[in-house]
């Protein structure tokens, strides 16, 4: 990758006016955004948020996915969509947007899909629209908002696929890993819909196991995708978590074999693990829950008649 460098404001202004990306450091509403050209890929751009690589875009090539975990998401989601969902009516919600790499990808693979990206940083959303060839609404709609609060207001059965890729630095905020959050997503999914999460975890794998334990309380079926060193707890990395009330592909099925072949063909070979494996992997783990107010403190707080009355 080329080294990052600050770019004079007048140069940025000129490039932005021409809707052309220009390398540099930009101040977001909640983060520092670094944009640098990929010296190995023509028209490739790397976007880092607070120093952490977040998105990669190749102009004119929406199906080019540089990050392996994004390829794993695409492989698992496509297999599920093609087997179980109506591609002509797909409603996809992306919790955590970055530069909209995945929304741009799915909008191209499934041209009739409707993608909604929920991104907290409004300046990042604006710059992504300005710099990159992201399809316009309704194919890709960007909503500037808190993704957890949006999930809490999901209309029942209003979407077919939810992809969670929310990070604060290198970790997913706790309130996106709880049983209550999974319940909000489950409610928002239409019957047979799919929940996908990018889980970044350390070698102890405690985070992934806790998330899977919580997902198993909400979804009837679970599965994962990751590379073998990660699944064996040898390093920090990404695990893709899948949840649905529709049964996934058994390890001996034709679909699982096809997924495995595609995953093994990537730059970082990965594996698909079915729910039998997942249940053993996460056995004994304790799910995360939202923090609840201290009930003793609430009971000691004077309440007005309106607050104590029953409705």
Cβ partners under 8 Å of residue 19, min gap 6? 130, 131
Q: Are residues 35 and 83 in the same domain?
A: no
Task: Report, as an integer, the average pLDDT of 293-300.
Answer: 53
Q: Report pLDDT digits (tens) over 128-174.
A: 999 999 999 999 999 999 999 999 999 999 999 999 999 987 789 99
**Of 169 and 219, which is predicted with more confidence?**
219
CA neighbor of 37 nearest in space, from 28, 47, 50, 27: 47
**Which tokens go with 147?**
């993704």
Kindly tell me if the per-residue pLDDT of 40 is higher than 90.
yes
Q: Report pLDDT digits (tens) over 9-28.
A: 444 443 444 578 999 999 99
- Domain count of the chain? 2
Per-residue CA distances from 131 to 1, 13, 16, 60, 134 (Å): 19, 12, 7, 12, 9
Examine residue 221 and state whether it is found in any structural domain, yes or no: yes
**Of 258 and 73, which is predicted with more confidence?**
73
Examine residue 265 and state whether it is found in any structural domain, yes or no: yes
Kindly tell me if the per-residue pLDDT of 74 is higher than 50.
yes
Tell me what percent of the residues of the chain surpass a pLDDT of 90: 78
Cβ partners under 8 Å of residue 130, min gap 6? 16, 19
pLDDT range class, residue 1, cuts 50, 70, 90: very low
Task: Report, as an integer, the average pLDDT of 232-238.
Answer: 87
pLDDT range class, residue 311, cuts 50, 70, 90: very low
The domain in which residue 275 lies consists of: 68-281
Find out whether 45 and 37 touch, Cβ atoms under 8 Å. Answer: yes
Examine residue 311 and state whether it is found in any structural domain, yes or no: no
Which domain CATH number covers 204?
A: 3.40.50.150
Examine residue 296 and state whether it is found in any structural domain, yes or no: no
**d(Cα 228, Cα 195) in Å, to the nearest integer?**
22
Q: Are residues 35 and 177 in the same domain?
A: no
Q: Are residues 36 and 171 in the same domain?
A: no
Task: Report, as an integer, the average pLDDT of 207-214.
Answer: 97
**Which tokens go with 40?**
């190995």
For the full predicted model, state whether its pTM sits above 0.95.
no
pLDDT range class, residue 8, cuts 50, 70, 90: very low
Q: Are residues 19 and 125 in the same domain?
A: no
Kindly tell me if the per-residue pLDDT of 262 is higher than 90.
yes
Examine residue 256 and state whether it is found in any structural domain, yes or no: yes
Q: Are residues 170 and 268 in the same domain?
A: yes
Q: Is 29 left (phi over 0), alpha (psi -120 to 50) or beta?
A: alpha
- For residue 196, say if its preceding peptide bond is cis, omega within 30 degrees of 0: no
Find out whether 156 and 180 touch, Cβ atoms under 8 Å. Answer: no
Q: What is the mean pLDDT of the chain?
A: 89
Task: Report, as an integer, the average pLDDT of 209-224.
Answer: 98
Examine residue 220 and state whether it is found in any structural domain, yes or no: yes
CA neighbor of 287 nearest in space, from 203, 217, 199, 196: 217
**Which tokens go with 128?**
């992504």
**Which tokens go with 203?**
């070698």
Structure confidence at residue 293 (pLDDT): 66
Q: Are residues 41 and 110 in the same domain?
A: no
Q: Are residues 50 and 136 in the same domain?
A: no
Q: Which stretch of 92-96, 165-169, 222-226 has the lowest confidence by average pLDDT?
A: 165-169
Structure confidence at residue 17 (pLDDT): 43
């Amino acid at each position: 990758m080329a080294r990052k460098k600050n770019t004079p404001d007048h140069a940025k202004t000129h490039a932005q006016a021409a809707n052309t990306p220009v390398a540099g450091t930009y101040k977001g509403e909640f983060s520092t955004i670094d944009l640098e050209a990929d010296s190995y890929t023509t028209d490739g751009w790397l976007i880092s948020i607070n120093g952490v690589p977040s998105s990669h875009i190749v102009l004119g090539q929406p199906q080019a996915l540089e990050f392996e975990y994004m390829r794993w998401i695409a492989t698992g989601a496509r297999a599920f969509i093609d087997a179980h969902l109506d591609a002509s009516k797909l409603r996809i919600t992306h919790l955590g947007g970055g530069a909209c790499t995945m929304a741009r990808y799915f909008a191209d693979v499934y041209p009739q899909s409707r993608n909604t990206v929920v991104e907290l940083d409004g300046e990042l959303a604006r710059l992504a629209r300005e710099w990159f060839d992201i399809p316009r609404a309704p194919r890709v709609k960007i909503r500037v908002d808190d993704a957890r609060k949006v999930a809490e207001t999901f209309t029942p059965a209003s979407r077919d696929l939810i992809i969670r890729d929310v990070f604060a630095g290198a970790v997913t905020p706790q309130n996106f890993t709880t049983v209550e959050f999974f319940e909000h997503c489950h409610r928002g999914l239409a019957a047979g819909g799919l929940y996908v999460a990018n889980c970044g975890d350390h070698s102890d794998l405690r985070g992934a196991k806790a998330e899977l334990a919580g997902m198993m309380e909400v979804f009837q079926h679970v599965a994962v995708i990751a590379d073998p060193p990660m699944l064996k707890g040898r390093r920090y990395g990404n695990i893709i978590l899948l949840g649905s009330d529709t049964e996934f592909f058994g390890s001996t099925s034709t679909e699982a074999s096809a997924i495995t072949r595609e995953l093994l063909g990537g730059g970082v070979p990965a594996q698909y693990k079915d729910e039998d494996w997942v249940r053993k992997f996460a056995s004994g783990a304790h799910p995360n829950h939202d923090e609840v107010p201290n009930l003793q403190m609430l009971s000691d707080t004077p309440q007005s008649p309106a607050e104590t009355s029953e409705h």
